[in-house]
């Protein structure tokens, strides 16, 4: 079964099109001080190299808003300014070259302030992302719904949306974040049924790498499976670059997009007589930084391993006495077991990568 993506309106953040029939886009946020241009540019470059397609920056004051100008001139990825409460920062960030704002119009004060932000966004062809967070919902909605329920979050989103629609502004993206996976799923599912604006999905404050990855994979996985989500962020309490591998693995596991090689490794069992874990880790290390998509299988025995290894672009089914290496379904090498396996497989992996590079050059 393939995923039927919900058809949302297409908007453009810089050169990246989102919504409509466009693929789900991977996003993250820097954790540097935006005023520190050098460090921020460096982190954006690292994020981009790891597969980030839209980068958000926190804009806490005028200095940070204007730092976007030199940052913008040094990086190609679309930039989103994250602003709370102060409409002047939004206007400055737009003038400094940002491609989108993350700002809630209901939180920036007067009607005139909202008018100024919308006028500036229109003048700069910028998207506005409304970001509802269950931790900072309006108190009247909390009272009305008895807490930060999914319904209250959706109602809050519509309040902000209406303020933009009243000003004939439609380049909107919406997020509804909560640290509760089930609340996130319910809120996005409700909102998706009620509007066709593109949605930025994520589980916020998800936690450290292990817990955060699991919560994000479950939350985003359920939403993506329903066809919901046009951009996504995996939020981890870690270096934001670490979010990229998780985000791409989520997309790959659902067959939505792929980036870099897929490494299949068996979980090992009592039948495994080789150092499979070390072999799989070594393969992973060797393939770090590869952006092309292909499949490598590292399997621990010659009983159940060959099936999976044969299906991969390069695979090994290793045993104590012998190991079989496959390339695209064909046996290319049979090696004696034990420590020879790692060296032989690495040789084959290097040959495989060299062939791919040569093919790429010819194209
Ligand atoms: Fe066990 Fe072989 Fe399956 Fe690995 S491939 S889990 S060693 S049966």
- Please state, in angstroms and rounded to a whole number, the distance separating the CA atoms of residues 317 and 298: 7
CATH number of the domain that 236 lies in?
3.20.20.20
**What pTM was computed for the model?**
0.91
Q: How far, in Å, from the CA of 307 to the mean position of ligand 1?
A: 11
Looking up tokens 């409509």 gives: 20
Ligand 1 contacts CB of residue 198 (under 6 A): no
Contact assessment for residue 77 and residue 49, using Cβ atoms and an 8 Å cutoff? no
Flag whether 361 is in a domain. Answer: no
Ligand 1 contacts CB of residue 269 (under 6 A): yes
115 & 213 share domain: yes
Flag whether 6 is in a domain. Answer: no
Backbone angles phi, psi at 19, to 5 degrees: 80, -170
77 & 193 share domain: yes
pLDDT tens sequence across 249-258 = 999 999 999 9
Q: How far, in Å, from the CA of 303 to the mean position of ligand 1?
A: 7
**How many domains in the chain?**
2
**In Å, what is the CA distance from 107 to each residue of 163, 204, 246?**
11, 20, 32
- Calculate helix-pair angle for 150-165, 181-194, nearest 10 degrees: 40
194 & 222 share domain: yes
pLDDT tens sequence across 118-168 = 999 999 999 999 999 988 899 999 999 999 999 999 999 999 999 999 999
331 & 204 share domain: no
283 & 148 share domain: no
Residue 197 has pLDDT above 80, yes or no: yes
- Widest Cα–Cα separation across the chain: 78
- pLDDT, residue 14, reads 96
Atom 5 of ligand 1: nearest residue by CA position: 305
Residue 301 CA, closest ligand 1 atom number: 2
Q: How far, in Å, from the CA of 243 to the mean position of ligand 1?
A: 30
Flag whether 143 is in a domain. Answer: yes
Flag whether 38 is in a domain. Answer: yes
Atom 8 of ligand 1: nearest residue by CA position: 304
- pLDDT, residue 288, reads 87
236 & 277 share domain: no
Atom 6 of ligand 1: nearest residue by CA position: 268
Please say which residue of 253, 287, 310 terminates a domain. 253
Residue 266 CA, closest ligand 1 atom number: 4
Ligand 1 contacts CB of residue 299 (under 6 A): yes
Please say which residue of 218, 253, 288 terminates a domain. 253
Contact assessment for residue 238 and residue 208, using Cβ atoms and an 8 Å cutoff? yes
231 & 267 share domain: no
Flag whether 72 is in a domain. Answer: yes
- Residue-range definition of the domain harbouring residue 298: 262-356
Residue 270 CA, closest ligand 1 atom number: 1
Q: How far, in Å, from the CA of 299 to the mean position of ligand 1?
A: 7
Q: Averaged over 40-57, what is the pLDDT? A: 97
- pLDDT, residue 205, reads 80
- pLDDT, residue 336, reads 84
Q: Averaged over 178-190, what is the pLDDT? A: 94
283 & 164 share domain: no
Q: How far, in Å, from the CA of 315 to the mean position of ligand 1?
A: 14
63 & 200 share domain: yes
CATH number of the domain that 276 lies in?
3.30.413.10
Contact assessment for residue 187 and residue 199, using Cβ atoms and an 8 Å cutoff? no
Residue 303 has pLDDT above 90, yes or no: no
First-to-last CA distance in the chain? 33
Ligand 1 contacts CB of residue 270 (under 6 A): no
242 & 289 share domain: no
Please say which residue of 235, 253, 271 terminates a domain. 253
Ligand 1 contacts CB of residue 306 (under 6 A): no
Q: Averaged over 232-248, what is the pLDDT? A: 95
Looking up tokens 């810089």 gives: 14
Q: Averaged over 42-64, what is the pLDDT? A: 97
Residue 363 has pLDDT above 70, yes or no: no
329 & 243 share domain: no
Among residues 287, 301, 289, 292, the alpha carbon closest in space to that of 341 is found at 301
Flag whether 109 is in a domain. Answer: yes
Ligand 1 contacts CB of residue 202 (under 6 A): no
Ligand 1 contacts CB of residue 303 (under 6 A): yes
Per DSSP bridges, beta strands 200-201 and 231-232 are: parallel
Residue 317 CA, closest ligand 1 atom number: 5
Q: How far, in Å, from the CA of 273 to the mean position of ligand 1?
A: 10
Atom 2 of ligand 1: nearest residue by CA position: 301
- pLDDT, residue 292, reads 85
Flag whether 335 is in a domain. Answer: yes
| pLDDT above 90 coverage of the chain, percent | 79
| pLDDT above 70 coverage of the chain, percent | 99
The token pair that represents 269 in the structure block: 């069992």
162 & 304 share domain: no
Flag whether 5 is in a domain. Answer: no
Ligand 1 contacts CB of residue 101 (under 6 A): no
Among residues 206, 243, 301, the alpha carbon closest in space to that of 54 is found at 243
String of b and e for 296-309 (b: at least 16 CB within 10 Å)? Answer: bbbbbbbeebbebb
**In Å, what is the CA distance from 95 to each residue of 12, 62, 117, 270?**
18, 12, 11, 63
């Amino acid at each position: 079964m393939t995923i039927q993506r919900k058809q949302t309106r297409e908007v453009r953040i810089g050169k990246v099109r989102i919504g409509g029939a466009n693929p789900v886009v991977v996003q993250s946020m820097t954790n540097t001080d935006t005023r520190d241009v050098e460090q921020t540019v460096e982190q954006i470059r690292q994020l981009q190299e790891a597969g980030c397609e839209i980068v958000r920056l926190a804009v806490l004051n005028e200095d940070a808003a204007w730092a976007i100008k030199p940052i913008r001139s040094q990086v190609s990825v679309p930039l989103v300014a994250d602003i709370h409460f102060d409409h002047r920062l939004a206007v400055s960030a737009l003038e400094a070259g940002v491609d989108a704002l993350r700002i809630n119009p209901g939180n920036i004060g007067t009607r005139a302030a909202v008018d100024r932000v919308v006028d500036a966004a229109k003048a700069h062809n910028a998207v506005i992302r409304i970001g509802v967070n269950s931790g900072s919902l309006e108190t009247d909605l909390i009272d009305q719904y008895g807490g930060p329920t999914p319904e209250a979050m959706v109602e809050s989103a519509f309040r902000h949306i209406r303020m933009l629609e009243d000003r004939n502004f439609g380049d909107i993206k919406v997020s509804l974040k909560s640290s509760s996976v089930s609340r996130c799923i319910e809120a996005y599912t409700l909102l998706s049924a009620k509007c066709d604006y593109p949605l930025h999905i994520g589980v916020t404050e998800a936690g450290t790498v292990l817990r955060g990855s699991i919560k994000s994979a479950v939350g985003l996985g359920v939403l993506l499976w329903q066809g919901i989500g046009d951009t996504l962020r995996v939020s981890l309490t870690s270096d934001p670059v670490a979010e990229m591998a998780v985000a791409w693995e989520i997309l790959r596991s659902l067959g939505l997009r792929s980036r870099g090689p897929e490494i299949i490794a068996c979980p090992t069992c009592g039948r495994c007589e080789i150092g499979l874990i070390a072999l799989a880790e070594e393969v992973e290390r060797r393939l770090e930084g590869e952006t092309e998509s292909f499949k490598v299988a590292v399997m621990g025995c010659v009983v159940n391993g060959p099936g999976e290894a044969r299906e991969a672009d390069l695979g090994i089914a290793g045993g104590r006495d012998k190991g079989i290496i496959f390339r695209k379904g064909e046996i290319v090498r049979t090696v004696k077991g034990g420590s020879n396996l790692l060296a032989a497989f690495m040789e084959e992996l290097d040959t495989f990568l060299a062939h791919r590079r040569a093919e790429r050059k010819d194209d």
